[in-house]
Amino acid sequence: MTTRPSSTFFTAFAAAAALLVAGCGSKSEKEVASGTYTDPDTGETADYKVTSSDDGESGNISIKTADGEVSFGGGAANAKLPAGIAAFPGAKMTGGFSSTGKDGTSGMASFEVKGKAADVIAHFRKQVEAQGMKVVSEVNADETMMIAAEKAGSETPELHVMATQEGDMVTGSVTYGDGR
């Protein structure tokens, strides 16, 4: 069952995003802003926290409501892979998001690595198959390769991996959700 996030979540998200942009110039602060937002129409609340790295190059936004929590931003700290899935050797994790709630967990982790897209896809394929997942879709278009995998008995893919060749570098992402 899919539920629609409340307006409180979206309002708090917009407020936190605006605060992150406003705080990007501050290179010495870890926490840019935090607080609680109350939706004047519903009375629902959301806690938010906005952080920035010391150099101002990466940051994080997290929002927590009664329905769950979402966190996203740049840098390795936000590039969380699902349990049992490891990054391609030598990859630099560049950002992502994660979300937890009553309907399950989901997330996306982006990366870059020197190598071949085919090797990156093979690395992730081996891991998902070792976990009992089945690759149900493959795409190979120009310089981009993608796979989608799901657990036995599932009706929707639970993990997508994309890898794009850019010269001797590969950029890509792992997107996942357990859809309880």
Residues 115 and 43 in one domain: no
Residues 63 and 120 in one domain: no
Residues 52 and 79 in one domain: no
Residues 14 and 63 in one domain: yes
The sign of the CA dihedral 54, 51, 95, 89 is: positive
Helices (H), 24-135: 117-130
Element (H, E) at 30: none
Residues 106 and 164 in one domain: yes
Residues 88 and 38 in one domain: no
Domain boundary among 25, 44, 67: 67
pLDDT at position 128, please? 93
Can you tell me the distance from the alpha carbon of 54 to that of 173, in angstroms, rounded to the nearest whole number?
26
Domain boundary among 15, 40, 67: 67
Environment class of 178 (CB within 10 Å of its CB; exposed 0-12, middle 13-18, buried 19+): middle
pLDDT at position 49, please? 81
Environment class of 39 (CB within 10 Å of its CB; exposed 0-12, middle 13-18, buried 19+): middle
Domain boundary among 22, 44, 67: 67
Show the domain range for 8: 1-67
Q: What's the pTM?
A: 0.69
**Which tokens in the block code for residue 32?**
């840019």
Tally the domains of the chain. Answer: 2
Query: 86: alpha, beta or left, given left = phi > 0 and alpha = psi -120 to 50?
Result: beta
Digitized pLDDT (tens) for each residue of the chain, 180 residues in all: 333 344 444 344 444 443 333 333 334 348 778 888 898 998 888 888 887 766 656 677 778 888 877 777 776 677 888 888 999 999 999 888 888 788 778 889 999 999 999 999 999 999 999 989 999 999 999 999 999 999 888 777 799 999 999 999 999 999 998 754
Residues 91 and 164 in one domain: yes
